[in-house]
Structure 1
Amino acid sequence: MAAGQGIVDAHHHVWDLAVRDQDWITGEELAPLRRDFTLDDLEPEARAVGVTATVLVQTVTVAEETPELLALAARNELVAGVVGWTDLTAPGVADALAGLRELPGGEQLVGIRHQVQGEPDPGWLLRPDVRSGLASVAEAGLVYDLLVTPHQLAAAHEAALRLPGCTFVLDHLGKPPIASGELHPWADAVRLLASLPNTVCKLSGMVTEADRPWSVNDLKPYADTVLDAFGPERLMFGSDWPVCRLAATYAEVGGAAGELMAGLSPAERREVFAGTALRTYGLPLHGNSPRVQPSSSPASTTRCSRAPVGR
């Protein structure tokens, strides 16, 4: 049965520390993530809330990781697409992308991402070599995932403006300051980005940006902002598993998203929880679940812990 009849989780990760270290997992707060997380760990949690297809997203800027993720996708029917990494500043981006497409699982490469949030230059996305790499991503028919913080949203807007043929997907709402409760200037920058038709946003990563303990009421102003700015047809659900486990279970993240989108019509909810991801990433239709959104759990009364990171 088609994935459009179930939920698409448009953002999650996996890693095996025996294969490669995740050097961003440092300090006591992130210590719960310093273990292996596999698709076998994810699948029962995802299936339990009606997820029938996922997008597996890179975590490190290492060329060898993307072929490994593609191979995992080729072996697991839950993973419908992979957002990988390649060096956008290199002169041979087009050749690198073509090479990835030739690998096992290469047909499931749907996007590219870089940890822009870690770049000291707030205008990194506007560098000529980066813009050339982004153009190659677009020419390859791939999407570019934006992992940025609020002060980098202006450059993201300018990059999307200059490259109208490239679809930019904003991860984790652009990491708003949920813990402080401040909306501006983040909201203004997000609305400016959303004014461009080649931009999409992931409803993901909120719980780890919230203060501890968090509630759905803490998340609502930020979810409402992106819903109003992008609309359901350019908003997609993502769990950010396993990073979300620092602050919430998979079911709590799904329940919170369901509650935040409860005011939408059934057709609009189908967009947020499946249609936008299927269309944006060009995902194949597969899976078997009758549900179209996470079941509503009492997430607004569940108080969970905060961690200051999202991937």
Structure 2
Amino acid sequence: MSGTVCVVTGANSGIGKATAAELARLGARVVMVCRDEGRGREAQAELRAEARTAHPSRADTIDLRIADLSVQEEVYHLGETLRADYDRLDVLVNNAGVFLESREETVDGVEATFAVNHLAPFLLTHLVLPRLRETAGRAGEARIVTLSSEAHRGVSMDFDDLNAETGYNPLQAYAQSKLANILFTHELSRRLQDEGVVANVVHPGIVNTNIWRGSGWISRIARLFSWLYKRPEEGARNVVYLAASPDVEGVTGQYFKETEVVNPSPEAYDEKAEARLWRISREMTGLAEVDEDGAPG
């Protein structure tokens, strides 16, 4: 990974932090995207200290960008700065995600689970896509890895109420957002065919992260069984496999359960739903006014 630039969202803890650490260990320049500046700087300092111990010359190759991915204006700013600050982007890992036990609405008026888990990676991917395409043209391939979950099974997209205004079920909202990740990846991979940018989605396993930090009954039950879950480092290995392994070179549009390609739910193969979600997502993020060929600028 020497000479590559990898962006990892939600990198201050859990799978994101472990993914950033492993990519840095492999020699990549890593851009950690974090919502909270204090926790982000603390995580960056920790990873830099680890890098300094293992490879002193790599301690300064762990960068930090602060952005609240629930706020579209901040996602737009993040995309602009990434394109401006880096002349190449080899890997984008869309890791950041939330599980919310009660309905919350973002400043953009969007239900927060859908906003963070789907619209944010959809928008950020579009914004950095020009740089990913350029890198693929020079290096042969760039990669987009989006984290999903086996929780997507058993649900379909409720296009009549994507904003959960008629009723909020936390499990339904989370599962629908994870299905959206797969539908987005399928459509994206088709649109990027033969351009050298591959897009895959991964369920990294059931991992003990702070996504279950809530005080509601679902989070409390989940924490009771946390001793059975994978450590973040174990889940991160499955993400890094898609981000860095030569074994998956040229592989695109696939759903991985850990490191194995498996079939997602039948609903994840609905091409009409993929196209409809793509169109609605562009409208909800303001990208409908942008040329379909790429991001602004």
Question: Given the two structures, how large is their TM-score scaled by the length of structure 1?
Answer: 0.33
Structure number with higher relative contact order (C-alpha < 8 Å, ≥ 6 residues apart):
1
Question: Given the two structures, how large is their TM-score scaled by the length of structure 2?
Answer: 0.34
Which is helix-richer, 1 or 2?
2
